[in-house]
Structure 1
């Protein structure tokens, strides 16, 4: 069984992320923890968290009860839309700082994957993902799937994996990517980019060979892209190869910042429709895809 944490603010893009994850894991037994975080009040932020005036406590409890009611409705809605005996939904409403709440739930619930919705780029002055998503990516050691509001689930036939080959990847990080590809029978397209057509160093060649060996039982290819901008090169590649998902390692800040965090100078279509799987280097041992068993293999 896999434990998936889905953060929601009850917006349409968050609901789309929930739908996407439910469809992605439709053949597997999963528990979806649907989390809504009520932000701490200004008063609470400036004093000890245990020092609350009665009126604030009543207001907080009222807000939590409203959130619980919305979560119950959300669980009922998603269950009716996608009935599946292998899926369990657990609603969680809490008062906390957003990232602190995510960190705690990841540890306490043995979370394997965080799912968050993001609006994507719709104008020239917008960033690729929101502050909450970027904070979770950089501060929480757990794989995260960011789903744009216009992303529609279909079987992942093609997954792009941008890399500069400078990192020696840990096995447990690649297991997450391998697992996603295996359950979807996806082809992995490993993409390197260089402005100046620089040849790979010995270290880069070694890391490339490691990837080739690790993914030897999975359909995969290596691509070398050139151009003036990584963003537009990846966009062209995604369109040409009909990419369904982009996966990156969080530690590879060069690619991560330029593809996900950098403000847009033009509309980039992959930010509007493609989900991003961000993988972390150091994950607890329980966060491994081989533990994901098909329902027929699970004991009842």
Structure 2
């Protein structure tokens, strides 16, 4: 059974992340843990870290929080398939998000964290190592980021921007395939360069090795594309938009491509947040 942790602050975008998860895994045996963290009363010497998408609401009236939790449970019942292979647990705790997340990941052996996001500024912050970036950098778990108002419509086109400085493990690729689930999804290995220079022989070798490695793990169609773009993030988003992509997959090992990708990117140039869910995998 897949174990999925979904942080919530009872907002619409956090509810959308729940809805997306239920639709994405409607045929999968899952235990969904809905987590609300109240930072009120936490150790003041520890800086609160989580501030991404589902921003933490400090609620001083326990009754109000209890009502919101009850409303959330009713919401889940209203949108769930009510199938036996889906289980739900609502968790309400006081403390700091990062610490609480780590505890639940270890205790419950969480496979995936699903979070909602509202805007490009939050997404850039997510990759640049501030606050919410710690979720990816310091929490050993895969993370699926769901843009606000985006619903699950299946996974037909999946973009996998590749960094040939990373050796992708079979385990990482298998987790990606398991999350994609559909063998009809087309996986596009995307290599972005900033100039028209010829691809080095080493890159060509790594490309073929990665394609061969993937072909042994998946039955999905796989293709390799190289695009030229002075701004790597814009190149990926333009490619994704033209392709009408359903998902972008990236590897978060020591930030790697992620940090370089957004290092010099302005908020206005980012468009991942508007339409395309993003899956960050630990390698």
Q: After TM superposition, is the score higher than 0.5? A: yes
Alignment of 1:70-89 (within 5 A): 70-85=68-83, 86-89=85-88
Cα deviation digits, residues 162-186 of structure 1 (max 9, x gap) = 1121111111111111112333631
Q: Cα distance 1:196–1:263, how it changes in 2: closer, same or farther (>3 A)?
A: closer
Distance between the aligned counterparts of 1:230 and 1:61, measured in 2? 41
Say if 1:167 and 1:252, in contact at 8 Å, map to a contact too. no
3-state SS of paired residue (1:154): coil
Deviates more, 1:258-267 or 1:227-236: 258-267
In the alignment, the residues of structure 1 paired with residue 88 and residue 41 of structure 2 have an alpha-carbon distance, to the nearest angstrom, of 28
SS in 2 for 1:251: coil
1:39-188 mapped onto 2 (5 Å cutoff): 39-41=39-41, 44-46=43-45, 66-85=64-83, 86-121=85-120, 127-128=123-124, 133-183=132-182, 185-188=184-187
Counterpart for residue 279 of structure 1: 281
CA RMSD across the alignment: 2.5
Q: Which has the bigger relative contact order, CA under 8 A and spacing at least 6?
A: 1
Instruction: Find the aligned partners of 1:277 and 1:231 in 2 and give their Cα distance.
Output: 15
Measured after TM superposition, the shift of residue 258 of structure 1 is 4.7
Aligned length: 265
Quick one: structure 1 residues 259 and 245, their matched pair in 2 at CA, closer, same or farther if it must change by over 3 Å? farther
Does the CA contact (< 8 Å) of 2:38 and 2:59 recur in 1?
no
Superposition TM-score, scaled by structure 2 size: 0.84
For residue 13 of structure 1, report the CA deviation from its aligned partner: 0.9
Provide structure 1 residue ranges, at least 5 long, that are not aligned to the other structure.
48-59, 282-300
What secondary structure sits across from 1:215 in the alignment?
helix
Structure-1-length-normalised TM-score: 0.80
* Range that drifts further, 126-135 or 220-229: 126-135
Q: Report deviation, 1:73.
A: 2.0
Bigger-Rg structure (1/2): 1
Q: Is the 8 A contact 2:37 2:93 kept in 1?
A: yes
| 2:255 counterpart residue number | 253
Change (3 A) 1:192 1:150: same
Deviates more, 1:82-91 or 1:261-270: 261-270
Residues in 1 aligned to 2:136 and 2:90: alpha-carbon distance in whole angstroms: 22
